[in-house]
Amino acid sequence: MIGVVELDRIRVDGRHGVGAEERSRPQQFEVSVRATLDIAGAATGDDIAEALDYSRLADLVVEIVEGESFHLLEALCWRIASAAQERFDVQRVWVKVAKLHPPMPVRLAHAAVEVEIEGRSGR
């Protein structure tokens, strides 16, 4: 039984950007994650030990966004996706990272990058 666990728009501050000014002070980011995995054990057993604990997934996102620094959203997005795939028993991971109110000559709500990686076969 295949299912999807989704975390939508985790709001976290980080120091990411091409310019030194962007990395000198925290900025707001929103991160969304979708993980595809076998949910049969969790669905039939109603046991957190058989599930992807989404609080741990959220903690991973916060750990990376707050604790590391990247020039590009692509690199940050890839880091989150690959770390999620390494840490959890998932088949596919999709991550979207949005920088809220990026320093640009035009006004916009956010700039974002999405990545999706696949590779593990699940349980």
Among 33, 84, 99, 115, the one annotated catalytic = 99
CATH-assigned architecture of domain 2-118: 2-Layer Sandwich (3.30)
Lookup: tokens for 97: 């990272």
Q: Mean pLDDT throughout 56-78?
A: 97
DSSP 88: S
Q: What is the pLDDT of residue 122?
A: 44
Let me know if 96 is a catalytic residue: no
Minimum mean pLDDT range among 64-68, 93-97, 103-107, 118-122: 118-122
pLDDT surpasses 50 at 123? no
Structure confidence by residue, pLDDT tens digits, 8-43: 999 999 999 998 888 889 999 999 999 999 999 999
Q: What is the pLDDT of residue 19?
A: 86
The model's pTM: 0.92
Nearest Cα to Cα of residue 90 among 115, 60, 119, 50: 119
Q: How far apart are CA 55 and CA 58, in angstroms?
A: 5
